[in-house]
Amino acid sequence: MKQEHFERYLADRYRLRIAESSGSEIIEGELVGEANVQPISIRGGIPRFVSNANYATNFGLQWNRFKSTQLDSLSGLPLTANRFWKNTRWTPQELRGKKVLEAGSGAGRFTEILLAAGASLVSFDYSNAVDANYENNRLKGDLFLFQGDLYNIDFADGYFDYVFCYGVLQHTPDPVKAYHSVFRNLRAGGKISIDYYRKRKVPTPHTTPKYIWRPLTSRMAPEKLLKIIQFYMPFYLPIDTCLRSLPLIGRPIVALIPVPCWNYLGLGLSKKQRLEWAIMDTFDALGAAYDLPKTLNEVEQMISSPENKEAEVFYGSNGIVANVVKR
């Protein structure tokens, strides 16, 4: 955490105790608030408003193990940028210099895009994935990063010009409450963009095996689950690829085989990258403590508010997207 970020975002509520610093970067220390309240620790340059022991432990493991896998700057492909701009329908010009909240950053694949657009970005994650994001993006722009709770964001209502939350809400215990928690941080006239897993009525290659196995895998130790996927995926991914290549019948066949496999064909990934993505996203799908998909109508109900000035809900790159302008 930089000294300027403490002064900009936290100095009105906390006193700062510095144990270790490097230039303007505060590496270790504490944020001290009201009397009789436990100080907030700063470890590895990041304020920690929550502990690592929580329902998002699997995501901490995932994003620290695959910290650079989805970064456009390292993959050489604009996969994250294309998804971001296509689904938010924002522009780099409108984000420049604006106060943006990124709720649920993971390893920072979207953090990188927001910083490149010149946003003044506050980003957080419930898990220690923030460590991966810190390593990936701390030198790329105006970034204040912390580890915190989606239900208890330590900023004033209406503080941010934009709120961005992708791949997060369906993994919380109460997605509706989570959405309205981040929505309250948006100023009047500001914009929020979320995405959400789509609930499907017919079998698909991803959802069918996923929900067959999740009652077991979501209760497994994350390290054990990851080892299992790392063992079978190099053998099964080529089989899955061959089956999917069969005209007309390929995808229906794969949808009926109870072997989870996130196979990203047609994106321009190399074989090595495709295997890494398959392991990572299969683990993502099977290991999350919560996975609560919704229909488009249910997402519309979730974002419904008298404070909405404009709202659009549509099928997007990762299920369902909702874009809202606050009244």
Amino acid letter, residue 198 = R
| 297 falls within a domain | no
Summarize pLDDT for 116-151 with one digit per residue, the tens.
999 999 999 999 999 999 999 999 999 999 999 999
Strand partners, 193: 164, 323
Residues 191 and 315 in one domain: yes
User: In this structure, what DSSP letter does residue 170 have?
Assistant: G
CB atoms closer than 10 angstroms to residue 43: 16
End-to-end CA distance of the chain: 33
Same domain, 123 and 174: yes
Residue 27 lies in a domain: yes
Q: Which residues contact 88 (CB under 8 A, 6 or more apart)?
A: 164, 191, 193, 323
CATH of the domain at 170: 3.40.50.150
| 83 and 40 belong to one structural domain | no
70 Cβ contact list (under 8 Å, min separation 6): 79, 80, 106, 107, 109, 277, 280
Predicted confidence at residue 244, as pLDDT, reads 94
Q: Which domain holds residue 281?
A: 207-287
Burial of 103 (0-12, 13-18, 19+ CB in 10 A): buried
**Residues 311, 73: Cα–Cα separation, whole Å:** 32
Beta strands at 308-316 and 186-196: parallel, antiparallel or unpaired: unpaired
Domain co-membership, 151 together with 4: no
Please return the burial class of 3, using the count of CB atoms within 10 Å of its CB with bins 0-12, 13-18 and 19+: middle
Whether the Cβ atoms of residue 165 and residue 194 lie closer than 8 Å to each other = yes
Q: What does the pLDDT read at residue 233?
A: 98
Examine residue 292 and state whether it is found in any structural domain, yes or no.
no
- pLDDT value of position 153: 94
Quote the pLDDT of residue 34. Answer: 85
Residues 190 and 238 in one domain: no
* pLDDT tens-place string over residues 266-309: 999 999 999 999 999 999 999 999 999 999 999 999 999 999 99
User: Does the residue 181 lie in any domain?
Assistant: yes
Same domain, 217 and 161: no
Is there a single domain that holds both residue 148 and residue 260? no
Domain count, the chain: 3
Give the whole-angstrom CA distance, residue 287 versus residue 295. 22
Q: pLDDT at position 36, please?
A: 77
Does this model's pTM top 0.85? Answer: yes
**79 plus 139 within the same structural domain:** yes
Q: pLDDT under 50 in the chain at which residues?
A: none
With contact defined as beta carbons under 8 Å apart, do 183 and 169 qualify? no
Contact 61, 288 (CB under 8 A): no
State how far the Cα of 251 lies from the Cα of 326, in Å rounded to an integer.
40
Q: Are residues 214 and 121 in the same domain?
A: no
Instruction: Report pLDDT for 35.
Output: 78
Q: Does the residue 301 lie in any domain?
A: no
Q: Is residue 226 a part of any domain in this protein?
A: yes
Q: For position 37, what pLDDT does the model report?
A: 85
Q: Is residue 268 part of a domain?
A: yes
* 70 and 26 inside one domain: no
φ, ψ for residue 21 (rounded to 5)?
A: -145, 160
Q: Does 129 share its domain with 244? A: no
> Is the same domain home to 43 and 104?
no
Mark out the alpha helices in 10-165 (DSSP H runs).
57-65, 72-75, 79-88, 92-95, 109-116, 129-137
In a domain, residue 302? The reply is no
Q: Which of 222, 97, 212, 218 is nearest to 161 (CA)?
A: 97
pLDDT at 289: 97
Contact 194, 169 (CB under 8 A): yes
